[in-house]
Chain A
Amino acid sequence: MCMSDLPDQNISPEHKAFLKKVKLKKISIVFTQITLLILFFVMWELAARFEIVDAFITSQPTRIVKTVINLYREGQLFHHIGITCLETIIGFILGTAFGTLIAIVLWWSEFLSKVLEPYLVILNSLPKIALGPIFIVWIGAGPATIIVIALTISLIVTILEVLNGFLAVDREKIKLVKAFGANKFQVLTKVVLPASLPNIINALKVNVGLSWVGVIVGEFLVSKAGIGYLIVYGGQVFQLDLVMTSVLILAIAAALMYQGVVYLEKVIVGKRQHKSTG
């Protein structure tokens, strides 16, 4: 519900008061959220300054800022962020694309879907990280392996999620297009795919998180470059400043990417309902 959709004229005082109350509530939530965040960093900094905690193992915000500046000066900062983000985006796109494609094939052939069902279930419960060393041997210790690890982590979930979405499409809608004489391909393109779009986007949301897991774990294993590499390296040489900095950068990057998907969802799904209001 968008408040600005309501006509401006003849708003009753009661409605005005209600709107004000809603707005106030919203502001107070955001305010508290920001306060909590600031409080957390201030407490962290103070605890380290007054040696309540050992800054050598907990690091502290000012040191993190210094680390970021150093990394930037050495030209390392965007190098590592760039590599990790690129790997994540490629893994994420490939995972979603292949997952959806395979889901389409399985939807098309009930026989194939029945045959592959137990394998999918086992692959789904297998921790895909265990396959990491195999990929390193097969593909080599480089970004390609990391992308493949990210891809395998999100692939099976995508297949299952999207396929379930396909199968949940209203039978009556399919009957409707069949009554117009639609063939299977038309059933797919006219009904099944557009009807499952919200489902596919939900899979995307899950995949963003999974791709990050895959990429960071991949970088742990391959250990050449990227934020995951910085974390592992920092841990090994006991530079907790570097570890904490990397984790913070990771949190920001992951949040931004998730917001990107949320925005995509709004653009694609949102226009279905309220395109021509007002």
Chain B
Amino acid sequence: MEYIVEIKNLGKKYQSLNGEINALENINFSIRRGDFISIVGPSGCGKSTLLSLISGLIPKTYGRVIINGRESPDVPDEIGYMLQKDQLFEWRTILENALLGLEIRKTLTKRTKEDVVQLLATYGLFEFKDKYPSQLSGGMRQRAALIRTLATKPEILLLDEAFSGLDYQTRLAVTEDIYFIIKKEGKTAILVTHDIAESISMSDRVIVLTKRPGRVKAVHEINLSCKNRTPLSSREAPEFRHYFNIIWRELDVHV
């Protein structure tokens, strides 16, 4: 299987009493296993809708979403979703939060639980496993949220503005952190963001969407000449500005 995700002629219309909103139109792209893809676009262009369609949370109007060669009417097991805020449940401990997905999928066993504890240990949250989310810093909460997503062993991670709830400094650090974890676990990732710099710094490819109705305007392969690429070192690469300027112009922002 060459492509893990294939989007073919995908479209979404929202119905309301005031009429029809054409959110996405004729979206086509494919993602290779292990790739990190970013989707950028002006606000309201249907970026988040696209993730919801891929994850099967909302029904598509037309087109196909093929994951691992299959089309599924429900939420596919291969997918892990990360939302804007960490959304850790304040009534659960960190470990209980991390086990949420396993509980819902009814795959919580002694062995899978041990795996999650192992994940927490690997990423420095073992000693916080019995704490409540309010006792953790923003960065640690984000990491806990990622582990909750990784607990169900997804192959594809969908990150919906996943870091936008954080202040800028924390955001840079968390981006670095999450990037390492995703790469280490060998996951495929799709990041939706309005932050051009963030999209370039993290991805192998950036997909630019147009204003509503969202269509694919451009796809950029990001090739940066820096060793040991990380989100932070990417920002130092000479090509970074170049990509930034192209995408900025394509987004066509007017105030």
Contact = CB atoms under 8 A, between A and B. Distances in A.
Contacts of B134: 273
A31 interface: no
A37 B147 CA distance: 56
Contacts of B55: 179
Contacts of A176: 81, 83, 87
A261 interface: no
Interface stretch (B9-17, B63-71, B72-80, B206-214): B72-80
Given A178-B75, A180-B152, A190 B90 contact: no
Interface string B127-159: 000111011000000000000000010000000
Contacts, number: 63
A273 B89 CA distance: 11
Interface stretch (B96-104, B173-181, B183-191): B96-104
Contacts of A197: 91
A179 B131 contact: no
A265 to B, nearest CB: 13
B57 interface: yes
Contact of B75 (A173, A179, A186, A277): A179
B112 interface: no
A178 B75 CA distance: 8
A175 interface: yes
By size class, the interface of chain A is 20 to 34
B227 interface: no
Interface string B16-53: 00000000000000000000000000000000000000
Interface in A141-180: 170, 172-173, 175-180
A181 B104 contact: yes
A177 B100 contact: yes
Contact of B90 (A177, A179, A180, A273): A273
By size class, the interface of chain B is 20 to 34
A178 B59 CA distance: 13
A181 B132 CA distance: 24
B81 to A, nearest CB: 4
Contacts of A179: 55, 57, 75, 79-81, 83
Contacts of B104: 177, 180-182, 186, 190
B91 A195 contact: yes
A197 B91 CA distance: 10
B105 interface: yes
A138 to B, nearest CB: 42
A182 B152 CA distance: 13
Contacts of B152: 180
Interface in A169-212: 170, 172-173, 175-182, 186, 190-191, 194-195, 197
A73 interface: no
Contacts of B89: 173, 191, 194-195
B230 interface: no
A181 B75 contact: yes
Contact of B87 (A173, A194, A274): A173
Given A272-B132, A277-B135, A170 B75 contact: no
A181 B103 contact: no
Interface in A220-278: 272-277
A273 B83 contact: no
**Shortest Cβ-Cβ A-B pairs, 7 listed:** A179-B81, A180-B101, A180-B104, A181-B75, A182-B104, A272-B91, A194-B91
Interface of B: 55, 57, 74-75, 77, 79-81, 83-85, 87, 89-93, 100-101, 103-105, 130-132, 134-135, 152
